[in-house]
Amino acid sequence: MTLLGATLRAQGGDSFEAIKASARRQLEAGKPLEALKIATGISKRAPDDYELQYTVAKVYRLSGQLEAAEKATQWLLDLRPENLGGLQEAALLREQFGDLTGAVDLLNMVFRATPASKYKGRAELLLDIARIFDKQKMTKEAAQLRQEVERLKGLEIANEKATAAAAHR
């Protein structure tokens, strides 16, 4: 259990932060409809809570409710125009709408703005770009990106091991 999870449990299951975390957990568990029920149920309490609105936008996109996803993603961009999560959601929506070039452009912009030390996030972005390259029949480029993803995964594992070793000292 994470420190955040323990803190939220101590606050009680009905706290706003605990409910918000529950929506994220449902999404991470591959249960977008459950996440949507939770997130939309509390979104009126804090329509400008970026994390919550990000969850709402992502859930709408993953559940195929593209019109609602577009509206929620635009709200994210209105709240924080330069936020990388909102820009990534916008890129993935562009992919859904068939604007593959625009999606890759946005994903590249997010990739360049993502710190080099964020191996997992950068790998996720490269996988998104590789998937779009496959759709564009750019298989050689997609394969090169997947090789870079494997390199980044190796760096992430090495970083986790180093962090764990340092924590045990």
| Closest listed residue to residue 162, CA positions, set 126, 119, 127, 133 | 119
Examine residue 1 and state whether it is found in any structural domain, yes or no.
no
Examine residue 126 and state whether it is found in any structural domain, yes or no.
yes
Examine residue 92 and state whether it is found in any structural domain, yes or no.
no
Cβ-proximal residues to 110 (8 Å cutoff; 6+ apart), any chain: 84, 87, 88, 91, 125
Kindly report the backbone phi and psi dihedral angles of residue 130, in degrees, each rounded to the nearest multiple of 5, phi listed first. -60, -40
Shared-domain flag, residues 13 and 77? yes
pTM: 0.80
Shared-domain flag, residues 104 and 66? no
Examine residue 64 and state whether it is found in any structural domain, yes or no.
yes
Examine residue 17 and state whether it is found in any structural domain, yes or no.
yes
pLDDT tens, per residue, the chain with 169 residues = 444 444 444 445 568 889 889 998 998 899 988 998 998 888 888 888 888 899 999 999 998 999 999 999 999 999 999 899 999 999 999 999 999 999 999 999 999 999 999 999 999 999 999 999 999 999 999 999 999 999 999 999 998 888 888 877 7
Examine residue 110 and state whether it is found in any structural domain, yes or no.
yes
- The structural domain count of the chain equals 2
Examine residue 156 and state whether it is found in any structural domain, yes or no.
yes
CA–CA distance, 103 with 158 (Å, rounded to integer): 31
**H or E element in which residue 38 lies:** helix 32-43
Full residue range of the structural domain in which residue 127 is found: 100-169
